[in-house]
Structure 1
């Protein structure tokens, strides 16, 4: 194995360790953000009562269809394979509705904060998936370099 290959392998290993650290931190952020969202949902239900914030507000099979306000798309090229989160504006005519309105016009602040936390969790999940993709690519490059040198 040449000196250049050893240096490249060292850099890839350092990058792999950095990506592992980023992945762990991202997963911890997802956990804390979703936990905060769940606590805020519980607070909303406690404040408003169990009948105001419950399953009865959720759509059923007979409800009108609607589109998601956030969608994930894959951007692929020769080098990168990355996920991107697209956010759509609320537009009732095109089926983009704000689901928090299922719980009334004047929703509690804790319910709005819960929605924000879960939106942040979605962003973190996409970020974590991108980090995982980079980590998998780095591991693949390390294995290719090792196989080439042997």
Structure 2
């Protein structure tokens, strides 16, 4: 193995460790954020009563169709795959509705905060998926380098 290959392997290993650390931190943030959202949701149910914040407000098969305000798109190129979050504005004519309105016009602040926490969690999941893609690519490059030098 040449000196250049060893240096490249060292840099890839350092990058791998950095990506592992980022992945663990991101997953911990996802857990923390979703737990906070669930606690805020429970607080909303406690404040408003179990019947006002429940699955009975969710749409059923007979409800009007609607579009998601946030969608995930995947872009691919020769080197990398990347996930991006597309955010749409509320537009009732085109089917983009704010789901929090299913629970009434004057929703508790804790329910709004829970929605914000779950939105943050979705963004963190996208970030985690991108980190995982980078991690997989780094491992693949390391294996290629090791196989080449063997």
SS in 2 for 1:105: coil
Distance of 1:146 and 1:54 partners within structure 2: 55
Supply the RMSD in Å over aligned alpha carbons: 0.5
Match of 1:66 in 2: 66
Match in the other structure for 2:32: 32
Q: Structure 1 residue 50 and structure 2 residue 50: aligned?
A: yes
Find the counterpart in structure 2 of residue 23 from structure 1. 23
1:131 partnered with 2:138: no
Aligned to 2:148: 148
Distance in 2 between residues matched to 1:63 and 1:115, nearest whole Å: 22
CA distance in structure 2 between the partners assigned to 1:78 and 1:145 by the alignment:
18
Where in structure 1 are there 5+ consecutive unaligned residues? none
| Partner Cα distance (1:59, 1:71) in 2 | 19
TM-score normalised over the length of structure 2? 0.99
Q: Name the CA distance, whole Å, in 1 between partners of 2:146 and 2:56.
A: 58
The 2-side partners of 1:139 and 1:120 are apart by 28
2:115 aligned partner: 115
Deviation, structure 1 residue 79? 2.2
Aligned length: 150
Point out where structure 2 has 5 or more consecutive residues left out of the alignment: none
TM-score, normalised via structure 1 length: 0.99
CA distance in 2, matches of 1:127, 1:99: 24
